[in-house]
Structure 1
Amino acid sequence: MQSLKPERALWRPWWLMKYFVIVLLLSLWWYTLKYNCRYPEETFTCKTQLKNEQPNTVRMQYTVFVQNFIESAEKFFMIGHKVNYYVFTDRVSDIPNMTLNKDRNLTILKVPSYPRWQDVSMRRMEMIRDFAREKIASEDFLVCVDVDMKFNDEVGVEILSDLFGTLNPWMFGLPHEQYTYERNPQSEAYIPTDEGDFYYAGTFFGGSVEKVYKLTNFCHNAMMTDKAKNLEPVWHDESYLNKYLLYHKPTKILSPEYLWYDDLGIPAFLKRRRFLAVRKNYNEIRNR
């Protein structure tokens, strides 16, 4: 497999920023960290691919989250803009009929099943890659999110960039030496203990279709290389995602406002909780 090489650092002076943001220099590139933002009206098409509602076996039923997710998105996600939702599942008949707002569409795509939830998690990168290449190459942006979530406040065009990632709230505030990167040097997801900028969540990422294709193509190829060596990284597709974003810096990073788990409490700095994990019993869901 071709080695992953760092891209040229992206230096973005504040006067060239598209939106009002907080800009910090915490690494070797300028990035935009999104907190408490308002945004201008723009014209674009946003494709939302629900990547946690994907190949399941009879033991896993994330379809129970689809209606709640879509209803919350219709209230808070990209309001006033055209949005196409794509749900990947092997349980097409389980997806309920839903009434959507104007210029919003829902497409259900049937995909294969896999026997383990770990394989489900990792294979979604392949599906997103193939989807980006074959179905929507001419569209503007692709936003990839887990379906066992709900929107709780406005999420709009302020998140969009060539490539964006979201900080994992469980790692927020920790030194990078404590991040749960993959530490096995034999794995394609390996990150040394003296490297790392942020720890990104696999729950919420996206960007232009071209950039998302490159990211997911790397993740899938790295996973297949590891699979041939009988290796599996500690956090599966999220481990490969972090490896890619370490060397291909995102042009925008979303703060914990855009991904939060109420099990962590609600700290004083968190003024808005825009995208929340739905509390659930994983054993119950995965064995339904």
Structure 2
Amino acid sequence: MVNIAIFFIIYKYLIYMTVLIFIIATEKYIRFFPKLKKTIQQYFLTDYKKVFYVFTNHDLENEVDVIYDKIFPLPWPLPSLLRFHLFSNSKLPDNIDLIYYFDVDTYLVDYIGNEVLHNKDEKISVVSHPYNLLDPNYNSFETNTQSTSYVENWKNYEYIHASFFGGYKDNFLSMCDDIKKLIDVDLKSNIIGKWYDESYLNKYVIDNKCKILDCGYSHPDFWAGDLPVKKKIIHLIKDWESIRGYRNEKTAGVCLIAVGDSCYAQYAYNLAASIKYTDEDAKIAVFTYGTCIDILNDEEKKIFDNIIFIKSEDLYINGRMHPNLFKLYLYKYTPFEYSVYMDVDSIWVSKFKFSQLVDNYIRDNINFVGQCRDVIDIREKPLLYGFHDTNKINLHFKFESNIAYQLHGQFVLFNKTEENIKFFEESIKIYLYQLDKKIVDWNWFNCPIEEFSMTVATLTLPFKVDDRVIKVAPVITQDENIYEIDKTSSKKLILTINGSETHDIANKIGGYVCISQDITQRYIKLYNQTVDEINNSSNFKLKYWIQKNCIL
């Protein structure tokens, strides 16, 4: 029988234990704090006294249970990178037993009890990242061998999400000191971990025994409950446009081309509407020529923020239309600082917002991203796309690099840097040379392939691509042979039908690797299903289904 006196002593001790909650809420992030505070009070360690310690740049008076520590808002990524410095340097009240950190853009939906307390032989409690379930083959760990956060043999470890962690006070503060030292060493060498504070937290967890909670304690709000965990803490999709301080006045938008057959204007309308279905604030420009766009009525044209007409000299050569060439001229026409080109015979299928896709790159100062399916060293693999001999191509162009980024033209993200402008100008020269000399037998409606020109340009220029965007391929193409769309994927966001209803045209004229007519028809079915799904749940009505071939 349990001794009643001992029970009440233990119970009295528990209810008088105090948990300090660290939260960082600068700038517009302060708007998330009231909901987080309310749900922590309702669900988190309900038998414990709680004190909130909030770092903010707002002038706020302390409350009975809230300490506001005013800090200066730093440029990104320092607010994230230096949070362990904030924790270490904070002036804690007396009699704190436990410390936990919550991202301010989270909130609780279920009771969290003593299961988040770590054992004596464990340093701290942390949370498994949702992508361990959703994309286990993606390496989020630090890859820079010079960084103190570098992780070797990363597949042996579980990646940690830095949205919620904590434990006993002494352990928490000791962890902060250890991580702070790692960061300081890197900063002296001008190194910052791939994912800032999270990279160093992961290194700490690898080097120290910690309690790892499942990703139900950091469940993304855009997943519809299909993860095999119970939701405890919801992590919000950020309103990147209005919150991220690093973005300032930078503009980002989608660039679409609708020329030739009027169905390309219909495709452009569908793609624009599917993007705005998940991100109403997305900016979209369509570039058109002649009467192509006139198939859309005035109301439908409002889906585009800009309708820009192309100069004939940038589209026609000797009376023949070259839409592929115009892709390379986009840098002259785009109204955006950061531009994302997508082929219009595509549709946005992801639950991710367009702004999230772009801001992931803007945040890290990545200036160029392509639909890059492979990267090859031509000294070892001399064939581009598996059949174009670089030894023969080198007879026409002087190569400055041995590394070829095999780009595809369905997706390109770029900003107007001097390096990128030189890259597009070089690609145009290669395109025009290919049109005249036909150095390879590869064309689209008797026009050179722009992706071939861009790929060769990665060899003729010292054009560097950030290692984080190597092998990026956000467009689902027919050679992937999918049966259904994973709307929660952060790697595959767009479905393309590869330009035609028929396998024969897509293969013989389009130059695409379309495996069979059955697969082509399956992709068209998936496209039309997406149209129906959006129409059934959105104010944006997609009015066009794939029913005919498009002919330039």
TM-score normalised per structure 2: 0.39
Work out the CA distance in 2 between the residues paired with 1:212 and 1:88.
17
Question: Are 1:124 and 2:92 an aligned pair?
Answer: no
Instruction: Give the letter aligned to residue 125 of structure 2.
Output: F
Question: Are 1:229 and 2:189 an aligned pair?
Answer: yes
Work out the CA distance in 2 between the residues paired with 1:75 and 1:179.
36
Larger Rg: 2
Question: Are 1:140 and 2:97 an aligned pair?
Answer: yes
Distance verdict in 2 for CA 1:167–1:136, change over 3 Å: farther
Instruction: Give the letter aligned to residue 163 of structure 1.
Output: I
- Higher RCO by CA contacts (8 Å cutoff, separation 6 or greater): 1
Distance verdict in 2 for CA 1:68–1:194, change over 3 Å: closer
The 8 Å contact of residues 66 and 147 in structure 1, kept in 2 or not, is answered as: yes
1:25 aligned partner = none
Q: Report 1:1-288 matches (<5 A).
A: 42-43=14-15, 44-50=17-23, 52-53=24-25, 56=26, 60-93=27-60, 105-114=65-74, 116-131=75-90, 134-136=91-93, 138-161=95-118, 162-172=123-133, 174-175=135-136, 178-194=138-154, 196-250=156-210, 252-267=211-226, 269-270=228-229, 272-287=230-245
Instruction: Give the letter aligned to residue 183 of structure 1.
Output: T
SS in 1 for 2:129: coil
104-113 or 207-216, larger mean C-alpha shift: 104-113
TM-score normalised per structure 1: 0.73
Work out the CA distance in 1 between the residues paired with 2:163 and 2:150.
20
Distance verdict in 2 for CA 1:196–1:136, change over 3 Å: farther
Work out the CA distance in 1 between the residues paired with 2:190 and 2:243.
27
SS in 1 for 2:185: helix
Work out the CA distance in 2 between the residues paired with 1:234 and 1:194.
14
Distance verdict in 2 for CA 1:181–1:282, change over 3 Å: same
After the TM superposition, which parts of structure 1 deviate over 6 Å for at least 4 consecutive aligned residues? none
The 8 Å contact of residues 141 and 154 in structure 2, kept in 1 or not, is answered as: no
SS in 2 for 1:201: strand
SS in 2 for 1:166: strand
Work out the CA distance in 2 between the residues paired with 1:121 and 1:142.
18
SS in 2 for 1:172: helix
SS in 1 for 2:133: coil
CA apart distance, 1:236: 0.2
Instruction: Give the letter aligned to residue 63 of structure 1.
Output: I
CA apart distance, 1:279: 3.1
Q: Aligned residues, how many?
A: 230
1:21 aligned partner = none
SS in 2 for 1:61: helix
CA apart distance, 1:219: 1.6
The 8 Å contact of residues 141 and 206 in structure 1, kept in 2 or not, is answered as: yes
**Identical-pair percentage:** 23
1:196-244 CA distances to partner (integer Å, 9 max, x unpaired)?
Answer: 4211111111111111112111222211211111111110000000001
Work out the CA distance in 2 between the residues paired with 1:212 and 1:195.
26
Q: Any unmatched runs of 5+ in structure 1?
A: 1-39, 99-103
Instruction: Give the letter aligned to residue 112 of structure 1.
Output: F
CA RMSD of aligned residues (A): 2.4
2:463 aligned partner = none
Distance verdict in 2 for CA 1:239–1:196, change over 3 Å: farther
The 8 Å contact of residues 137 and 210 in structure 1, kept in 2 or not, is answered as: no
CA apart distance, 1:153: 0.8
CA apart distance, 1:163: 1.3
CA apart distance, 1:195: 6.0
CA apart distance, 1:171: 2.6
Work out the CA distance in 2 between the residues paired with 1:200 and 1:61.
26
The 8 Å contact of residues 171 and 179 in structure 1, kept in 2 or not, is answered as: no
Work out the CA distance in 2 between the residues paired with 1:196 and 1:89.
38
Work out the CA distance in 1 between the residues paired with 2:217 and 2:227.
16
Instruction: Give the letter aligned to residue 110 of structure 2.
Output: D
CA apart distance, 1:135: 1.9
Work out the CA distance in 2 between the residues paired with 1:137 and 1:244.
27
Distance verdict in 2 for CA 1:195–1:170, change over 3 Å: closer
SS in 2 for 1:73: helix
Instruction: Give the letter aligned to residue 247 of structure 1.
Output: D
The 8 Å contact of residues 122 and 220 in structure 1, kept in 2 or not, is answered as: no
Work out the CA distance in 1 between the residues paired with 2:38 and 2:158.
31
1:233-275 CA distances to partner (integer Å, 9 max, x unpaired)?
Answer: 110000000001101010x2211221100323322622x3110
The 8 Å contact of residues 149 and 277 in structure 1, kept in 2 or not, is answered as: yes
Structure with bigger helix share is 2
Work out the CA distance in 2 between the residues paired with 1:227 and 1:235.
14
Distance verdict in 2 for CA 1:203–1:211, change over 3 Å: same
